[in-house]
Amino acid sequence: SSFPMIVSAYQPYFAPFAGFFAKALQSDILVLMDRVQFPRGTTWLTRNRFKNDQGVLWLTIPVWKKGLGLQQIHEVRICNEGRWAAKHLASLKSAYRNAPFFEDHAPFIEGLFSERFDRRVDLNLNVIQHMMAHLRIPAKVVLLSDLRVDSDEPRLSVDICRELGATRFLAQAGAGKYLDANRFQSAGISLEFFTPRPPVYPQLWGPFIPNLSALDLLFNCGPKGHDLLLKSTRGIN
C-alpha cells in the first residue's frame, strides 16, 4: 500500500512505563520481543516501580531461574509459591485506593494476582493489553515467537520489518548500538529514533516521580492518560 507502515519493538516488560505506550501510540504494529534471551540480572521483565506513602514502591514477580541456564523470555515461568501475589495486591490497594480511577481497574488487578499465570510473558501480555485498551492505543500487538523470523540483531529488526511489510521502524534512542542503519537502508526501511518526554500528571503521595509504571498514570488520570501520552510525543516525530 502507499501508506507508511510503522513497526516498533519492545521486550514484553511488566506493567511498562509511559514511554513504552507513547511509542506504541506512534506505531501500527508493536512487536513484543519474547524470543530473545531472558537477562540474568534484574530486569524490567519482572519488576516495576509504583508509588506509595514511602515514595517508590518496587513490585517484583518471582520467576524460576535456578538450574535452568539461559532461557528465552517466552520460556520463563512464574514462581507461584509463597504469598507474594497477596502481598502485591495489598500493597497496590493501599498505595492507590484514593486514586481517582483505581476502582475502574481494581477487578483487573485482583484477577492479575489470582489467576496463577504460568508463563511470565502471558502475565505481562495480559497487563500490556489491558493498559493499551484503557490508554486507547490502536496498535496491533504481535509476539516475535509467532513470526517466521529466527535471526538475531543486527539482522533481527530488519527481518521483522520485512516479514510485516513495514516501511518505517521506530526505535528508542539508545538502540542505535544494536541496529545497523545500512541494513535498514538497503531494505528500503526508514529507521527512526524516538525519545518521548515523560508525561507529568497529578500523583498521590508527595513530589512527582517520572517514569513509574504507566498503571500509576491510569490509576491517577484514567481516560486522560491517552491525551497525556499524545502530548509527550508531540513535535518529536
> What would the pLDDT profile of 23-65 be if each residue is shown by its tens digit?
999 999 999 999 999 998 889 999 999 999 999 999 999 999 9
Question: What counts of helices (H) and strands (E) characterise the chain?
Answer: 8, 7
> What would the pLDDT profile of 97-145 be if each residue is shown by its tens digit?
999 999 999 999 999 998 779 999 999 999 999 999 999 999 999 999 9
Distance from first CA to last CA of the chain, Å, rounded? Answer: 21
Greater model confidence, 66 or 216: 216
Closest CA to 219 of 199, 202, 233: 202
Is the confidence at residue 1, as pLDDT, over 60? Answer: no
Other beta carbons within 10 angstroms of residue 162's beta carbon come to 14
Print burial letters for 199-213: b (CB count within 10 Å at least 16), e (below 16): beeebbbeeeeeebb
Q: To the nearest 10°, report the CA torsion of 215, 217, 218, 222.
A: 180
Mean pLDDT of 15-19: 97
Please state the separation of Cα 185 from the chain's center in Å.
27
pLDDT, residue 236, reads 57
> Which residues does residue 49 pair with via DSSP β-bridges, in sequence order?
58
**How many CA atoms lie within 13 Å of 120's alpha carbon, on the beta-carbon side?**
29
**Which of the four pLDDT bands, split at 50, 70 and 90, describes residue 3?**
confident
Question: What is the spatial distance between Cα 191 and Cα 160, in angstroms, rounded to a whole number?
Answer: 13
Mean pLDDT of 202-220: 97
**Which of the four pLDDT bands, split at 50, 70 and 90, describes residue 237?**
very low
Q: 105, 134 in Cβ contact below 8 A?
A: yes
Q: Are strands 6-10 and 29-32 parallel, antiparallel or unpaired?
A: parallel
According to DSSP, residue 206 is labeled S
Print burial letters for 8-41: b (CB count within 10 Å at least 16), e (below 16): bbbbbbbbbbbbbbbbbbbbbbbbbbbbbebeee
Whole-number average pLDDT of the chain: 94
Q: Which three cell numbers stand for residue 188?
A: 528500503
Q: 218, 225 in Cβ contact below 8 A?
A: yes
The pTM (predicted TM-score) of the whole model is 0.94
Q: 151, 159 in Cβ contact below 8 A?
A: yes
pLDDT, residue 135, reads 98
